[in-house]
Amino acid sequence: MLGNMLDTTCQIQQRSTTPTSMGGNKRTYTVRVSSAPCSLKAKTLKEVDVHGKMILVNMYRFYLEYNSTNSAIEHTDRLVFDGADYDIQAINNVAGKNRLLQIDALRVE
């Protein structure tokens, strides 16, 4: 049943943070899953003020099969779909049935 709904793939990347010599932090990402079956739906588009600059923010909803690998996805991870990065905002195990993950993610233009 889920196979028909999850008609494309995305990459799941795990974030790690390391300190820099200047006292900041550097974020790097490693591949957690190279090709996860998923479905992507546009959710909303809005303008937000980021440091005094108005930018467009697109919220998208991804659906992925719930399995041992995908259930380990964290809010600090990101999804890569069609060459674009999506920062995870919310993760939901739909109806708590361990069948489908619903992930809301931001793509900043």
Cα separation, 17 vs 105, whole angstroms: 20
Domain count, the chain: 1
Mean pLDDT, rounded, of the chain: 90
Predicted model pTM: 0.82
- CB atoms under 10 Å from CB of 101, counted, come to 20
Average pLDDT estimate for 45-60: 85
Quickly tell me which residue has 């964290």 as its tokens.
74
**What residue numbers bound the domain in which 23 lies?**
2-108
Long-range pairs, 46-55, Cβ under 8 A, ≥24? 55/108, 55/109
| DSSP, res 4 | H
Q: What is the CATH number of the domain that holds 101?
A: 2.40.10.370
Average pLDDT over residues 13-24: 92
| Whether residue 109 has pLDDT greater than 80 | no
pLDDT of residue 99 exceeding 70, the answer is yes
